[in-house]
Amino acid sequence: MANPADSAALEALSSTGERLLERHLSSTKEWFPHTFVPWSQARDYEDDYQWEPDDAAIPPAVRSALFVNVLTEDNLPYYFRDIERMFGRDGAWGEWVRRWTAEEGRHGMVINNYLQATRALDPVELERARMVQVQTGAVPEPPNMVEGLAYVSLQELATRISHFNTGSMLTDEVGKKIMRRVASDENHHFLFYRDALSAVIEVDPSAAVIAIEKQATDFAMPGVGIPGFSKHAKAIADAGIYDLAIHHDQILQPVIMRDWALESIEGLDAEAEQSRAKLVKHIGRVGKVGARLAARREEKAAQLEPAPA
């Protein structure tokens, strides 16, 4: 159940919740995970089966991305817990919680089945990691609804980008199709949360700016509890699937600076003005570091390219 302060805010935004839910339901398309999985590639796993990397021709960094992405999706029970705590069970907001959960459930289903059918990852390592991840039950837990909206807006877009870029690096057309289908869902979820926070900016700009600053400056992709997460995150960044440059250019700038128009928000109190200044500085710093790391990666890639004959 949402806490009293959040309940009051949700009540004030009840028409927003209804409008965004109706828009979501009218713009999303029904799809079925079983129709995406390449079942014809599947075969029985023998008792003495030992996975080898050449069982599927996938670059190590893309394996890391698939590993992290699917385990994040498998952690859905804890995300549901916190989304329900944030929005409660009643009205359009409660209906959104349940709809979002049902849609998210398809993601882990289709990616897991794809991985098992194609043997893209070691199934034993993956299952052991899933057990660790779900038993750990660690997910970001924003303290209130407004901070929660700020976090999930950034996180859903980041997840969409990660899924899409992972699919783009697969040579398997079926894998590309699956990851793009999941990314499309994540984009619809992002739009719901982004526009919900836009409504908060209209009614309580100071609370919104403080929340955005707190969540953006401490933002981290979901992954706490995933075995070897730091190693996998580095591989994902080094491959350009998701790194600081992407985070700045495709999330912080377009969402915070453009969509939420951070620098143009009026009516802020003193604390919110400080938060705005801190956040603008943070975004600039991330942009500089991201650009430097991206340039370094491009230089390294150029050095590894074979010389022309």
Report d(CA 106, CA 276) in Å as an integer: 37
Residue 169 backbone phi and psi in degrees, to 5:
-95, 0
Query: Thinking of the domain 4-43+51-303, which architecture would CATH place it in?
Result: Orthogonal Bundle (1.10)
Collapsed DSSP state (helix, strand, coil) of residue 159: helix
Structure token digits, residue 307: 């010389």
- Closest CA relative to residue 240, chosen from 183, 173, 168, 189: 168
Domain limits, the chain: 4-43+51-303
Report d(CA 195, CA 152) in Å as an integer: 12
Backbone conformation region of residue 139, classed left if phi is above 0, alpha if psi is from -120 to 50, else beta: beta
Report d(CA 23, CA 88) in Å as an integer: 20
Report d(CA 184, CA 75) in Å as an integer: 19
Half-sphere exposure of 224 (CA within 13 A, CB side): 10
User: What is the Cα 74 distance to its own chain's centre?
Assistant: 13
Q: With a cut of 50, which residues of the chain have pLDDT below it?
A: none
pLDDT digits (tens, 9 = 90+) for 232-250: 999 999 999 999 999 999 9
Q: Rounded to whole angstroms, what are the CA distances from 60 to 241, 245, 294?
A: 12, 21, 19
Decide: 86 and 2 in contact? Cβ < 8 Å: yes
Greatest alpha-carbon pair distance for the chain in Å reads 70
Please tell me the predicted confidence (pLDDT) of residue 5.
64
Collapsed DSSP state (helix, strand, coil) of residue 204: coil
Collapsed DSSP state (helix, strand, coil) of residue 126: helix
Please tell me the predicted confidence (pLDDT) of residue 300.
75
Structure token digits, residue 59: 């670059």
Report d(CA 69, CA 264) in Å as an integer: 35
- Closest CA relative to residue 137, chosen from 181, 75, 66: 75
